[in-house]
């Protein structure tokens, strides 16, 4: 596995962890534990920021003509899908917390 592929897999893993934290927060909303829910959303947001940094680095290298990077493959598309859905889940669950509190 190349270094770039390892970074893409890391992006998938971090995005999955972020989404899991967001859904843990949703479970806390069901039990009205809003403080814990907000803490989990903050953790999710931090993980998304970490994933965003990896994504930005990958994109920057792809755009840099002096650095050879691989073409966008199914693995990167899969990573983008995970990252996008983790952000969407977090945003929606964060809104639910605000509305239901």
Total Cβ atoms within 10 A of residue 58: 20
Query: Taking the chain (101 residues) in consecutive chunks of 10 residues, what is each chunk's mean pLDDT?
Result: 92 98 96 96 97 93 77 86 96 94 89
- The label of the residue with tokens 């990896």 reads 54
Task: Quote the pLDDT of residue 70.
Answer: 67
CA distance 78 to 94: 24
Task: Quote the pLDDT of residue 18.
Answer: 98
Task: Quote the pLDDT of residue 64.
Answer: 81
Q: Does domain 3-100 bear CATH number 1.20.58.80?
A: yes
CA distance 69 to 80: 17
Residue 81 labelled as part of a binding site: yes
Domains in the chain: boundaries: 3-100
Active-site residue list = 78
CA distance 53 to 26: 26
Indicate the pTM of the whole model. 0.89
Task: Quote the pLDDT of residue 85.
Answer: 96
CA distance 99 to 101: 6
């Amino acid at each position: 596995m190349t270094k770039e592929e390892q970074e893409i897999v890391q992006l998938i893993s971090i995005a999955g962890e972020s989404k899991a934290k967001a859904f843990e927060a949703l479970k806390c909303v069901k039990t009205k534990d809003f403080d814990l829910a907000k803490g989990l959303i903050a953790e999710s947001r931090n993980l998304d920021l970490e994933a965003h940094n990896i994504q930005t680095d990958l994109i920057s290298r792809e755009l840099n003509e002096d650095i050879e990077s691989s073409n966008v493959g199914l693995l990167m598309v899969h990573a983008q899908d995970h990252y996008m859905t983790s952000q969407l889940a977090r945003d929606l669950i964060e809104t639910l917390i605000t509305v239901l509190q």
